[in-house]
Amino acid sequence: MSSVLVTGGAGFIGSNLVKSLTGKGYHVTVLDNFYTGYHENISSFKNVDVVTGDIRDRELVNKLTTNVEGIFHLAANVGNLKSIENPNDDAEINILGTLNLLNAARDNKIKKFVFSSSSAIFGDVEYLPLDEKHPAEPDSPYGVSKLAAEKHCLCYSKLYDMEIVCLRYFNVYGINQRFNPYGNIIPIWAECLIDDKPFTIYGDGEQTRDFINVSDIVQANIKSFETKGVKGAFNIGSGGSATINELAKIFENVSQKKIDIIYAPRRKGEVLHSKADIQKARSAFNFNPEITLEKGLSEYLSWFKNLHICQ
């Protein structure tokens, strides 16, 4: 049985990845500080060792990487707006924490390392769809920290005998994504839906986002990990886009509820348009997103309602 380390494995994306990995027969060690992760996300999985700790702890990171064959690095301080308010956390966790893992992987001769990057590295869009060669000029300290961590990953891949993959996620949503005022618009609106509150749209609502379901993110992680010879940076999105106004309409259709909309001024640090070119990932490891926004949102809202019923 292959053993892997998943940092941030009790969080939204990490727990979905852990579920899939254990289902495929991997033994998984989860490292999570449980700041945004939840024990209940992973408590039912077999072949999982859970360690409460921080990726900034060098000694712990080195210990946990001594007997694993690969690393999925998802632990991060996430959020554009939050990073503007407190950029130091992003630098310490997203950059220095990643360096701790890279050094441990190098020292323990780990061959495969999959890093969860972000489309936030791009900043304002010069052309669509965004391919991997698009200029990276992030508009937030979060985007800067992800870009810096990504550059360290790619550098280590050149310097040492490691296949390091950087997956640039676009707007991820899905099961186990809880409400966070700094987080993705979909759980924020799901919370509003539950509480019968209006949706707030910042700007005119014609800004676009590439929404990708977490199950497709998991697919990208595992395929890039298991495909021999794959390394480098890859955009991971649905390959499509929807306006925020269109998203509100899909919420109405799926929930069968009339939703009131409040328009507010556009916020700093947010890009106007986003759409991923995913051809590189398709070619390198057969990445093929399968979940439509309508299907994924319907599944997510059912899970979200059950979560509130159980609380």
Active site residues: 142
CB 124 within 8 A of CB 139: yes
Q: Which residues contact 263 (CB under 8 A, 6 or more apart)?
A: 200, 201, 202, 203, 204, 205
Q: Give the distance, in angstroms, between the CA of residue 94 and the centroid of all CA atoms in the same chain.
A: 13
CB 151 within 8 A of CB 218: no
The DSSP secondary structure of 115-149, one letter per residue, reads EEEEGGGSBS-SSSSB-TTS--B-SSHHHHHHHHH
Q: Which of 88, 107, 94 is nearest to 7 (CA)?
A: 94
Query: 32: which 2 tokens?
Result: 């999570």
Q: Which residues contact 296 (CB under 8 A, 6 or more apart)?
A: 173, 174, 211, 213, 215
- Measure the CA–CA gap between 42 and 39, rounded to whole angstroms: 6
- Measure the CA–CA gap between 282 and 288, rounded to whole angstroms: 6
Q: Give the distance, in angstroms, between the CA of residue 178 and the centroid of all CA atoms in the same chain.
A: 13
Cis peptide before 87 (omega within 30 of 0): no
CB 262 within 8 A of CB 117: no
b/e for 76-111, b at 16 or more Cβ within 10 A?
Answer: bbbbbebbbeebebbbebbbbbbbbbbbbbbebebe
β-strand partners of 168: 117, 235
